Amino acid sequence: MSDSVKKKFDEVAKDYDLQRRKLIPCFDEFYSVATGCVHVDKKTPRILDLGAGTGLFASYVRQRYPEAKLTLIDLSEEMLKEARLRFRDDPQVQYISADYRTYLFDEQSYDAVISSLSIHHLSHQDKRTLFHTVYHLLTDGGIFVNADQAAGASFDLDHRYKAEWEATIRESGLSIQMVESAIERRKLDINASVEDQLKWLLDAGFAEADCVYEYNEFAVFCSRK
């Protein structure tokens, strides 16, 4: 993940959660579906959040599993500062400031790996490599839930989705500065199609993979080892 991505998210860390609700037209459904997909049969599951940011997605999952052990990894220390404020002194939450593409997880295994609005910043080859890494990090039967962005199935659809998103956020009540900043950040996106991502997940070894929710560019992928 490039330094430019890190810089952009360092800059918006303090206001990121406020903005995110406005920048995702389907916010409630998107996170509700994603959280509901994190299903494990343990009272104290080990859960890894890739590109955890402020810990928003992890906090929703934590409501389902109050005794879960969370590991939050993100490239932006500024974003993780906000996550530390969210979880305060919770001893069951670990923070790692690093690039999850190259970080060595010391042979640890997780019952679930989650991610939201992060993996689309990777090159397609890095996405494929990461899916293999996630597969090997999971326990047998473990689940991978990725709530992210996806490219439209055609150039015309992709263009329409982006135009609709921009029109929506311009009417969201966010300041012009916040809107323009969000549009600028989107230039760093490297969205892959739903079809390609499902294929890459199966290629990585997952027994099953599905896109369980899709609203224009926003999609929730659920895969089980």
Strand 110-116, strand 138-149: pairing? parallel
pLDDT at 15: 64
Is residue 21 within 8 Å of 70, Cβ to Cβ?
no
Which residues make Cβ contacts (< 8 Å) with residue 79, sequence separation at least 6? 9, 10, 13, 16, 52, 53, 54
pLDDT at 12: 47
Determine the angle formed by the axes of helices 77-87 and 3-12, rounding to 10 degrees: 40
Share of the chain above pLDDT 70, in %: 92
Using 70 as the pLDDT threshold, list the residues of the chain that sit under it: 1-16, 107
d(CA 152, CA 43): 38
Is residue 141 within 8 Å of 110, Cβ to Cβ?
no
53-108 confidence digits (pLDDT tens):
999 999 999 999 999 999 999 998 998 999 999 999 899 999 999 999 999 987 67
Query: ∠ at Cα 12 (6, 14), nearest 5°?
Result: 120
Which is the CATH superfamily of the domain at 3-224?
Vaccinia Virus protein VP39 (3.40.50.150)
